[in-house]
Structure 1
Amino acid sequence: MTLRVGTRASALATTQSAQVAERLSELTGIETALVTVSTEGDRNSRPLTEFGGQGVFVSALRDALLAGEVDVAVHSLKDLPTAQAEGIALAAVPTRVDPRDAVVARDGLTLGELPTGSRVGTGSPRRAAQLNALGLGIEVVGLRGNVDTRLGKVRTGELDAVVLAAAGLRRLGRIEEATELLDPLQVLPAPGQGALACECRADDSDVVGLLARLDDDATRAAVTAERSLLASLEAGCSAPVGAWAEVVDDDGTPQLWLRAFVGDPSGAPSIRLSATGSVQDPVGIGERLAAEMLAEGADSLMRAVVP
């Protein structure tokens, strides 16, 4: 038996999918093979908010699963729509790598060291909102492309810095290129950032069982809370929403802390709130915090950005 693992074709996607496949083989003794699948998000270079960012990196892989062309699909979890896909199971969420955003700036600088007017690239309304809220006098510039494309903008001097997920740099073995790792309490990551999602056909009980060996309870609880918040806000993966949950020890009892942000890309206004509760109730924590944010006007901030 050989498990066919579906992946996007980018260097980051194939690297992280290969890591999942290798770990799966180690745990089960089953051979794996990568199968590349082209997605709309890879083919379209326009900003995600312009052509419906929700699921653009995911749909083709799910189609390949349902068509029997692959047995497993590996996604960056932050790209995964919150709605359950019919016939597909989220069978594993492996241990999260690093939820933070990373800065790669010219001359080894941090954000705070960049001169006023410096151009900082990101394709994320969430990052733009939080970077502008820092009041550093930088110019946030729209940016898309793979890791090499984005880092190349700094090398050529077109941009003074870019901000991207630290997890991607770590998985590519390039984290040393980061000049700063942003405190997630200051710049909250995207819901699910740093985590992977392993999907398979819901009726394939053998593969569901095999993938379950990759699942990490703490990561699953954290991202479930983050995605519950996102779903309750009715926000897509390109909305200006940041969320970060972690399991913490409270006098010997594990508790789940969830922090969230919704903001205008200009930097103001914005809403920051947090909630805590039982690690057994990640969905409820996300729903309650989302209700508080909606009561504070989060829906109007998101409508200003997402079509």
Structure 2
Amino acid sequence: MNDVAVIGAGGFVGQAILNEGKRRGVECRPYPSSAINLLSENVGQLVEENINDGDSIVFCSALTPEQADGVELFNKNYYMMINFLEAVKKKHLSFFTYISTDAVYSLSLDRVDETKPTEPQTLYGMSHLVREKLVKEYISENKLIILRPCAIYGEGDPHNAYGVMRFLREAKHGGSIKIFGEGEEFRDHLFIDDFASIALEAIFSKVSGIFNVASGKSIRFIDLANLIADLFENVVSVDNLPRKMEVMHRHYDLTKLWKAFPHLLPRGIKRGVTDLFHNGNLG
């Protein structure tokens, strides 16, 4: 197969895809923002010099809510994508993998599959939905896969969002995990190595289309907190904070994903958290 160019290789997901490439013996060329700044005036020249005919692209370059406010985030995410697509439109790419997010769905949507309407309620989610629409205008349908992951966790995660990584770090450094309300919300959590494997496998097998990616087994935050607390030898308490949002649940129907990648089913939360606890750097 042709080389894989990872756009956004300096980020959490990009690094994981590079690591998965090394594990498989696949040549993945890393392009962090220091190599190709998608917001720079000379982005066209940088892409022309670095992206070749026949390359497969994994595009995972995006700002997250921790990095910018709503309008700034939306504008930068939009221009990063359109600048890159304009720069490669004359290239004959082999395949294009776009890393989106499940934030393109409504927060109140309880059960999610790919047939559900996209109704983002944040500018972050909206920015990814717009980018999805853009990439579909530039890349042929049979050469494009769009992946919409749920919350991803794993070694190297810099975001510390509410969930697995925050709970692990709170337990490790403070001996106390803090949950909102009674922690009754169900959420799914995806191990980073499993996501990277699917993202790269799509290029090998040329699987196209839109796919939600999750473990398929949602868990309540209270149960997740207790699972993590039990991993530590020292006593870890689970403390309640006042609830900031109404209770909303999320479950996934992953039938489409399982049919496309039957040998790459993501691990469940218990195994994933245990693997990370024993083998990873929690930060």
- TM-score with structure 2 length normalisation? 0.37
- TM-score with structure 1 length normalisation? 0.35
**Greater strand content:** 1
